[in-house]
Amino acid sequence: MISRVIASSVFHAMRVVAPRLSAAKRRLPRGGFVSFTFDDFPSSAAREGASLVASFGARATFYASMSMTKPDDVARVIDGGHELGCHTYSHLDCFRADDAEIERDVARNAREMAPLLGEAPRHFAYPFGRLRPRHKRLLASRFATQRSIFPGAHRDVVDLSLVRANRLYASPLLLWRARRLVDDVARNGGWVVFFTHDVSDRPTRWGARERDIAAIAERALRAGLTIAPVGAIVERTLTS
């Protein structure tokens, strides 16, 4: 029990420290942007999630753990024009792993993705959103972005080695926060990233309902925001 409390305290301290150590600071373009991302990713995300985002004329980013993600789902996402990103192969908790273990697991995942993707993946998301500050530099040479689960929107600049992202689950509180974030970006500009896992009318505690994703997408488009994958936003950024 004590060890879990200590580990939790250390992790929350890292959430304060890591964003302050900027490894890849870039300036955002003018305007407002929204990205939908799907982690792991279950078949329902590859089917319902991908189709739903596409129905708004947009594309999403899908982060695959190849020990969990089906190759057919990877192919479906790619064929739909969506972006494929990298988790760790075994859904490794980077916070608890040493650097060599992280590099091996990430490299294995990238190798298994490459034949399906046609190239090495360029974008990464931390499983469980857990990391230590040194991991930003550890993975910076392999990936253009590293996505966390640290909440909030990006205003003016973004640290590509620690992209913030917000839970989009079937929770009234989280959906209220998502609406607030969209409205804030619509007023002030910037970039907000959402993440979820499965997609269905009765999702798991880590998933989202189609109608909730649709409501956020509709709200963003009504406000004149651009919905695009992580990589498409990064291509528009400028070196600060």
Q: Above 80 in pLDDT, residue 7? A: no
Average pLDDT over residues 204-226: 98
Q: Above 70 in pLDDT, residue 16? A: no
Q: Above 80 in pLDDT, residue 125? A: yes
Average pLDDT over residues 104-118: 95
Average pLDDT over residues 127-141: 93
Q: What is the pLDDT of residue 172?
A: 97
Q: What is the pLDDT of residue 28?
A: 96
pLDDT of 47-79, one tens digit each? 999 999 999 999 999 999 999 999 999 999 999
Q: What is the pLDDT of residue 238?
A: 76
Mean pLDDT of all residues belonging to the chain: 91
Average pLDDT over residues 202-210: 97
How far separated are the first and last CA of the chain, in Å rounded? 45
How many CA atoms are closer than 13 Å to the CA of 79, on its beta-carbon side? 9
By percentage, how much of the chain surpasses pLDDT 70?
A: 90
Q: What is the pLDDT of residue 82?
A: 98
Average pLDDT over residues 79-100: 96
**135 membership: H or E segment, kind and range:** helix 134-140
Nearest in space to 153 (alpha carbons), one of 220, 238, 209, 57:
220
Distance CA 11, CA 1 (A): 15
Confidence grade of residue 89 (pLDDT, cut at 50, 70, 90) = very high
Q: What is the pLDDT of residue 24?
A: 80
Average pLDDT over residues 8-13: 44
Please, what CATH class does the domain formed by 2-239 belong to? alpha beta
Between strands 83-86 and 61-64, the pairing is parallel
Q: Which residues contact 65 (CB under 8 A, 6 or more apart)?
A: 40, 87, 88, 89, 90, 91, 109, 127
Q: Above 60 in pLDDT, residue 214? A: yes
Q: What is the pLDDT of residue 73?
A: 97
Q: Above 50 in pLDDT, residue 6? A: no
Distance CA 223, CA 235 (A): 22
